[in-house]
Amino acid sequence: MKVVLRNPRREIEVAGPVKVSVLLDRLEINPESVLVIRGDTLAARDEDLSDDDVVEIRPVMSGGAA
Amino acid sequence: MKCRRCRGHAVIDVRRHNAAFCAECFDHHCLEQVRRAIDQFDMIGSDDRLLVAVSGGKDSLMVWDALVRLGYQADGLYLGLGIGEYSDESGGFARRFAEERGLRLIEIDLRQQYGYDIPAGSRAAKRAPCSACGLSKRHLFNAAALEGGYDAVVTGHNLDDEAAVLFGNVMRWEEGYLGRQYPVLPAGPGFVRKVKPLVRLGERETAAYCVLRGIDYVLDECPMAVGNKHLGYKEILNDMEARSPGSKAAFLFGFIERAHGRFAGDAEEERDDLGACTQCGAPTPGDVCAFCRLVERAGGAMPSGSSPVELRRKAG
């Protein structure tokens, strides 16, 4: 499947099927810090992602110190 | 994973609540958390006119959207900070959001109206960019709200923001800041009320709300904030949260309920002792406020129409 990462934007290929939680674990991404988006909706951590999917892993952390 | 509320297909899990939600019930959950924060801290009256500090990011657009949906009268204020493409892009998201919903967005451009921008201003004033930015925002949002007769300034600070600020303040035992850290800061001479209705929602929830509501927001991080302490604190807290869900909320709300009162008295006294800036009339412990000093060092100037007499009159 195609996985879109951000900051900076880049794409990687990951073999499916795989659960969201396993994908994040493999990529060493803290699930608290991202959303996983498939199409126009979100995928919860136990969701199965298939080889044909295009998913975006979107960071949610933002903010200056003010 | 099933939705806790309707048992339908869940699209997001919120481990802090040991729950998962479908899109519709998650929307309900978010609005309910905003409503509960407003009630819990007596933030807003039903007839209040609100000014939302809008950056074009997920939190400010979410809080504006939620307040309007809950029936509040809320205008937006966007500050053009002059941070290159980032500012151009974020301003575009704020404008599109307002236009699509027929909402009023007020704009202030630092460079055009005050003669400086954040990159140049922070260099000239020898302040960290986030410090110069925060100072400018606090001053201008407050001044604009007083000028426009608004009852409160609303910011999109969420649970993660507040927990990270608390973490930083505790690490350095900043007693003054700890006394002022609360979801609502009451109005006072020269200060409009400030409220944070997203304090019961994590930033993963605010981002998810925007995705599921189809709200487009700026995705890039501010280039001047990259690597700052605040983001570092968030990473530390997220590591703890992953190991022990609910840690951030327990830390923040434990402070609010059991420790804030121990620091609040000093902060109130400090606020009562402030005088008026001789240049703009804003509250300050000295003769000239930090914002006017920043503008002066950055080579800018106060725009005409912001006379000290006018601001003092509105403030008092």
Q: For B233-292, give the DSSP string.
A: HHHHHHHHHHHSTTHHHHHHHHIIIIIHHHHHHHHHHHHHT-EE-TTT--EESSSS-HHH
Instruction: Indicate if the pLDDT at residue B311 is higher than 80.
Output: no
Instruction: Indicate if the pLDDT at residue B308 is higher than 70.
Output: no
For residue A32, the chain B residues in CB contact (below 8 A) are: 15, 202, 204, 238, 241-242
- Nearest-CA neighbor of A3 among A19, A31, A22, A23? A23
Rounded CA separation B127/B121 (Å): 8
Contact A65 B228 (CB under 8 A): yes
Tell me the C-alpha to C-alpha distance, in Å, between residue B154 and each of A30, B76, B145, B216. 30, 9, 10, 20
- Nearest-CA neighbor of B167 among B238, B243, B265? B238
Instruction: Indicate if the pLDDT at residue B309 is higher than 70.
Output: no
Rounded CA separation A3/A57 (Å): 7
For chain B, percent of residues with pLDDT exceeding 90: 84
Contacts of B241 (CB under 8 A, 6+ apart): A32, B15, B16, B247, B248
Rounded CA separation B145/A33 (Å): 33
- Nearest-CA neighbor of B121 among B104, B139, B94, B95? B139
B65 token code pair = 């959207």
Q: Is the dihedral of CA B151, B61, B129, B231 positive or negative?
A: positive
- Nearest-CA neighbor of A62 among B207, B199, B214, B293? B207
Minimum CA–CA partner of B206 in chain A: A60
Give the residue numbers in A contacting B (CB under 8 Å), as ranges: 6-7, 30-35, 37, 40-47, 58-66
Contact B211 A37 (CB under 8 A): yes
Contact B239 A30 (CB under 8 A): yes
Q: What mean pLDDT value characterizes chain B?
A: 93
Rounded CA separation B118/B83 (Å): 7
Contact B208 A42 (CB under 8 A): yes
- Range from A27-31, A39-43, B221-225, B239-243 carrying the lowest mean pLDDT: B221-225
**Residue B74 burial (C-beta neighbours within 10 Å; 0-12, 13-18, 19+):** buried
Minimum CA–CA partner of A45 in chain B: B13
For chain B, percent of residues with pLDDT exceeding 70: 96
- Range from A26-30, A60-64, B85-89, B116-120 carrying the lowest mean pLDDT: A60-64
Q: Is the dihedral of CA B58, B147, B281, B313 positive or negative?
A: negative
Band of residue B98 on the pLDDT scale cut at 50, 70, 90: very high
Task: Taking residues A37-49, report their average pLDDT.
Answer: 95
Please report the ipTM that was assigned to this predicted complex. 0.94
Tell me the C-alpha to C-alpha distance, in Å, between residue A61 and each of B204, B227, B234. 8, 12, 8
Please give the pLDDT value at position B227: 77
**What number of C-beta contacts closer than 8 Å exist between A and B?**
104
The pTM of this model reads 0.94
Rounded CA separation B176/B69 (Å): 35
For residue B58, the chain A residues in CB contact (below 8 A) are: 60, 62
Instruction: Indicate if the pLDDT at residue B312 is higher than 60.
Output: no
Q: List, for residues B232-260, the tens digit of each pLDDT value.
A: 999 999 999 999 999 999 999 999 999 99
Please give the pLDDT value at position B271: 82
Segment holding B147, helix H or strand E: helix B129-148
A65 token code pair = 């110190």
What three-state secondary structure class fits A2?
A: strand
What three-state secondary structure class fits B18?
A: coil
Q: Which residues pair with B184 in a beta bridge?
A: B195
- Range from A27-41, B143-157, B218-232 carrying the lowest mean pLDDT: B218-232
Please give the pLDDT value at position B305: 61
Nearest by CB to B130, from A33, A47, A66: name it.
A66
For residue A25, the chain B residues in CB contact (below 8 A) are: none
- Nearest-CA neighbor of A30 among B13, B229, B240? B240
Nearest by CB to A33, from B165, B221, B238: name it.
B238
Instruction: Give CATH superfamily name and number for A2-59.
Output: Beta-grasp domain (3.10.20.30)
For residue B236, the chain A residues in CB contact (below 8 A) are: none
